[in-house]
Amino acid sequence: QVQLVESGGGLVQPGGSLRLSCAASASMFSIYALAWYRQAPGKQRELVATISNGGSTNYVDSVKGRFTISRDNAKNTVYLQMNSLKPEDTAVYYCNAKWMEMYWGQGTQVTVSS
């Protein structure tokens, strides 16, 4: 069983930045594919960014050039650096880890508002 704990969410003004972190209690963390999803009120959960166990990354078009996903296998942690935030980025952000099975964190709220 893998536990994922997100942190770093909060309230930020448009144009601001936040860095989300997700700490995993998992042996062999480096073999997991990792991702960040988000869910806005009244909307379906959306895949935001992925990073493979080899370090390859992918992003949804709406965040390309603004968000960066990264991982530190020594710290069992995945990050999401979010810059130039927009009100439409407001959502609960979830960390996801996948290898054989899929695991989810509890989510962290990000609110972009003036």
List, for residues 94-103, the tens digit of each pLDDT value: 999 999 999 9
Percentage, residues of the chain above pLDDT 70: 100
Assign 83 to helix, strand or coil.
coil
Locus of tokens 């942690």: 77
Question: What does the pLDDT average to over 64-73?
Answer: 97
CA distance 82 to 59: 12
Question: Is residue 82 within 8 Å of residue 12, measured between CB atoms?
Answer: no
Would you place residue 27 in the very low, low, confident or very high pLDDT band (cuts 50, 70, 90)? Answer: confident
41 Cβ contact list (under 8 Å, min separation 6) = none
pLDDT, residue 70, reads: 98
Among 114, 56, 99, 49, smallest CA distance to 79 is for: 49
* Residue type at position 72: D
